Amino acid sequence: MHTIEHWINGAATPAASTRTAPVHDPATGRQQAQVLLAEASDVDTAVAAASKAFESWGDSSLSQRTKVMFAFRELLVKHEDELARIISGEHGKVVEDARGEIVRGREVVEYACGIADALKGSFSDQVSRDVDVLSFRQPLGVVAGITPFNFPIMVPSWMHPVAIATGNTFVLKPSERDPSASMLVAELYAEAGLPDGVFNVVHGDKVAVDAILDHPDIAAVSFVGSTPIAKYVHERGTAAGKRVQALGGAKNHAVVLPDADLEFAANHLTAAAFGSAGQRCMAISVGVAVGPAGDRLVEILETKAREVKVGPGSDPASDMGPVITAAARDRVADAVTRSAAQGATVVVDGRDLKVGGHEEGFFVGPSLVDHVTPEMDAYRDEIFGPVLTILRADTVDEAIAVINANPYGNGTAIFTASGEAARRFQREVKVGMIGVNVPIPVPMSYYSFGGWKDSLIGDSPVHGPEGVRFYTRAKVVTTRWPHAEAAFDFPTSS
Ligand code: NAD
């Protein structure tokens, strides 16, 4: 059985402990590897390597850091096929979708290639007689990232390129369910010329996470995952004196107005709800059909949901792969069962799907559930699987009120031909990332990514300018070079 080790100080490293977790192939249901689960002492070893590396990396020139980022970016392009296969093999998503997340992650590396511009300080000339003020930002030291299973390349890439380019050293604790992609990333950083100890990977579960949160030599923690764990990480990390950014779960609504092109909207809703088997933080899980749009929209969605081809992620004919675990498959099926019991209409039922030759795989088909109301479990819970629920609303105001009453506020979209309605929607909705006729409005890397309410705990989104701010702290320097004959002049504001 292949064992996935940690990556510490530039090399694959065995663990102090013997605890492991199984890594499955979700398409077959079989265990394909085991991953080490770190004890606190493994985290200590990684942090010690990162602290040592910070002594020189924190002092390295902007041109050296930029050079490494450009080389790393080229290696990500070169190894895209290999990375996509690794992601698909452990996560289950189709290879094309895995490529998509690599591209989105690489865009953050491209942003980091231009870090010199993002790090420019400011200068005020002659704030008082012969006195100037300048400000600049410096790295924090050792920072850590704790990431979820659903984007094993993209989500860590929201963090490490910006953290490293701004001069920090990094300890990544990826999801223990699909840990291998991070090991290839570590190898590519080494090949790109990143010094040993600047990027480290420690695999593990709560034990590793707690050791990171409590570690006195870690200055900041970036977390992405479910809301209960995001709240826990934020509370424990900040109590230990760290900066913490913690992105949580989601329940993303797409509002469809009667004046929208319903065929266009249904196409995009289908892709946004069932792509990656609904396991995207920006997946559309709720369609809000306004007025007369409803019946026709559901009719088109039904046809499209039935056309989604479910199969192994490695099969180019598959549109959608399995979900991550058997427990996730059962949770999705249970959500559909409960919605029917609570009075919703199951229009397309994915519960009993079997994929020939993959009977033990963690497959569940797309489900379309109509006439869901905000009180039902299927609306309240984050199902995180291929289930699109449809709510009916009479007006756009009612649709906005539904979204604003939801505890999550990650992404949302509106489909309409009316600029007036779209503008009102984008101004009034309490959500961080909004699409107008765009179903999954993930911001480009030079903007920042983050939701509102329970989708982001703390106040810091990831990457872009907010990421640079998060991984650095400012210094303000007030300078006077007095004339020799006036050396003891007391500064005044004149
Ligand atoms: P998760 O919360 O179970 O795990 C995230 C990380 O926390 C993993 O590294 C895991 O090992 C660790 N962890 C799990 N349980 C823990 C515990 N009790 N104590 C300490 N650490 C723990 O999330 P997941 O199932 O891997 O990912 C899916 C979730 O992530 C969904 O809720 C999804 O919405 C969310 N997500 C959000 C965003 C966003 O941008 N807001 C992006 C991606 C995923």
Q: Which residues of the chain have pLDDT under 70?
A: 484-494
Query: How far is 173 from 95, CA to CA, in rounded Å?
Result: 24
CB of 158 closer than 6 A to ligand 1? no
**Helical axes 80-91 vs 180-191, angle rounded to 10°:** 160
178 lines ligand 1 (CB under 6 A): no
Query: Mean of the per-residue pLDDT values for the chain?
Result: 97
Residue ID of nearest Cα to ligand 1 atom 10: 175
Question: If DSSP codes are grouped into helix, strand and coil, which group holds residue 60?
Answer: coil
Tell me how far the alpha carbon of residue 149 lies from the centroid of ligand 1, in angstroms: 7
Give yes or no: residues 230 and 298 share one domain: no
Dihedral sign of CA atoms 276, 455, 408, 325 in order? positive
Q: Which residues contact 97 (CB under 8 A, 6 or more apart)?
A: 88, 275, 276, 313
Task: Lay out the sheet containing 122-128: strands in order across.
Answer: 122-128, 131-139, 472-480
CA–CA distance, 49 with 64 (Å, rounded to integer): 20
d(CA 470, CA 221): 10
Q: How far apart are CA 385 and CA 200, in angstroms?
A: 31
**How many angstroms separate the CA atoms of 2 and 449, rounded?**
35
Extended beta strands in 9-114, E state? 11-13, 20-25, 30-36
Question: What pLDDT, on a 0 to 100 scale, did the predictor assign at position 16?
Answer: 82
- 370 falls within a domain: yes
95 and 162 part of one domain: yes
Q: What is the whole-number distance in angstroms between the Cα of residue 225 and the centre of ligand 1?
A: 3
**Could you tell me if 284 and 412 lie in one domain?**
yes
CATH number, domain containing residue 270 = 3.40.309.10
pLDDT for res 369: 98
Is residue 486 one of the residues assigned to a domain?
no
- Name the domain count of the chain: 2
Write out pLDDT tens, residues 326-360: 999 999 999 999 999 999 999 999 999 999 999 99
Q: Give the pair of three-digit tokens for residue 90.
A: 């452990």
Smallest CA-to-CA distance from 183 within 55, 191, 44 is with 191
Quick one: how far is CA 141 from the chain centroid?
23
Which one-letter amino acid corresponds to residue 274? F
pLDDT, residue 489, reads 59
Within this chain, do residues 148 and 181 fall inside the same structural domain, yes or no?
yes
Regarding whether 465 and 390 lie in a shared domain, the answer is no
Same-domain status, 28 and 62: yes
The secondary structure of the chain in percent helix, strand, coil, rounded to multiples of 5, reads 40, 25, 35
125 Cβ partners below 8 Å, 6+ apart?
Answer: 132
Cβ 245 under 6 angstroms from ligand 1 = no
Out of 177, 281, 323, 408, mutate this one to test ligand 1's pocket (max ligand atoms within 8 Å of CB): namely 281
Instruction: Tell me how far the alpha carbon of residue 74 lies from the centroid of ligand 1, in angstroms.
Output: 29
Please report the pLDDT score of residue 15 as a whole number: 82
The C-alpha atoms of residue 35 and residue 5 are separated, in whole angstroms, by: 7
Do 317 and 177 fall into the same domain? no
Asked whether 451 and 295 are in contact (CB, 8 A), the reply is: no
pLDDT in tens, 93-151: 999 999 999 999 999 999 999 999 999 999 999 999 999 999 999 999 999 999 999 99
**Cα 145 to Cα 160: distance, rounded to the nearest angstrom:** 8
Together in a domain, 374 and 307? yes
Which pTM value belongs to this model?
Answer: 0.97
- Residues 375, 404 share a domain: yes
Domain that holds residue 67: 3-248+455-477
373 plus 465 within the same structural domain: no
Q: Which amino acid is at 57?
A: W
Q: Choose, from 188, 281, 348, 376, the residue flagged as catalytic.
A: 281
Taking the alpha carbons at both ends of the chain, their separation in whole angstroms is 75
**Beta-ladder partners of 389:** 286, 369
Known catalytic residue at 113: no
